[in-house]
Amino acid sequence: MIVTDVTQAFLTPFKLTFFVAVFLAMPFLLYQIWAFIAPALYQNERSLAIPIFISSVVLFYTGVAFAYFIVFPMLFEFFTAIAPKSVTVMPDIASHLSLVIKLFFAFGLAFEIPVATVILIVAGVISPEGLAQKRPYVIVGCFVVGMLLTPPDVLSQSMLAIPMWGLFEVGVFFGRFLVRKKRLCHQQSLAAKSAAAPGQPSFPGALRNRSQPRMLRVRLDLAALTPYSTRPFRCPFFEL
């Protein structure tokens, strides 16, 4: 590598140290983000705090490892191979570090898509079926994000967009699993309440609030009271 600016040899190590500290502190940063969101959730939704937190940390470092071990070798080999023979490839240390850090954060945050999808589904913002219906827009969005966050070549764009799409499908799958589990628990709780109170009717009307007034049909047959009436008289509903 070479240095083309007088200050780069001095500032680049500080920049590298700063971003290494951010990478090492990422579990603490993700915990602070989750601690900010958790008070807005219900108690049963907060039970997912530890699994989501651990998944966030693991997925972020998985994305960084994917970029380092898979994307970087193919990307640098591709850019070196397409260079003309009369051109000597000598990357600048500052531009090389900027590209590496940009791709690290891009892949690390892109691998958080399943966590974001599950949080949206658990919070009730959108259903798994709604996300599945928006799949074409999600695919286009993945390639647009890949175009903006990666170098201007199809290879790096596809290597970011395709994993993002796959991780979106993983998030939808786990979201459906959690929704089915939540519905099953709700049905079991209703069955337990019905078993605890066998005298209560099982139709949906039994779930109404008891403080609501009931309607009784009152029928007054005045034919037996007066000889002048040939037809029974029926009064409307009365509210007790």
Counted domains in the chain: 1
In a domain, 105, yes or no: yes
In a domain, 147, yes or no: yes
Cβ neighbours, 10 Å, residue 171: 22
Output the pLDDT for position 143.
92
In a domain, 215, yes or no: no
- Residues contacting residue 227 through CB under 8 Å, at least 6 positions apart: none
In a domain, 128, yes or no: yes
Percent of all residues in the chain with a pLDDT value above 90, rounded to a whole number: 25
Q: Express each pLDDT in 98-150 by its tens digit.
A: 989 999 999 999 999 999 998 888 878 888 889 889 999 999 999 999 888 88
Q: Which residue has the higher pLDDT, 158 or 40?
A: 158
Q: Residue 8: which H helix or E strand, with range?
A: helix 8-24
What's the distance, CA 86 to chain centroid?
A: 49
In a domain, 210, yes or no: no
Note down the domain range covering 17: 8-181
Q: Is 85 left (phi over 0), alpha (psi -120 to 50) or beta?
A: alpha
Query: How high is the mean pLDDT of the chain?
Result: 79
In a domain, 196, yes or no: no
Output the pLDDT for position 125.
85
Check pLDDT > 70 for residue 29.
yes
In a domain, 229, yes or no: no
Output the pLDDT for position 170.
92
In a domain, 160, yes or no: yes
Check pLDDT > 80 for residue 206.
no
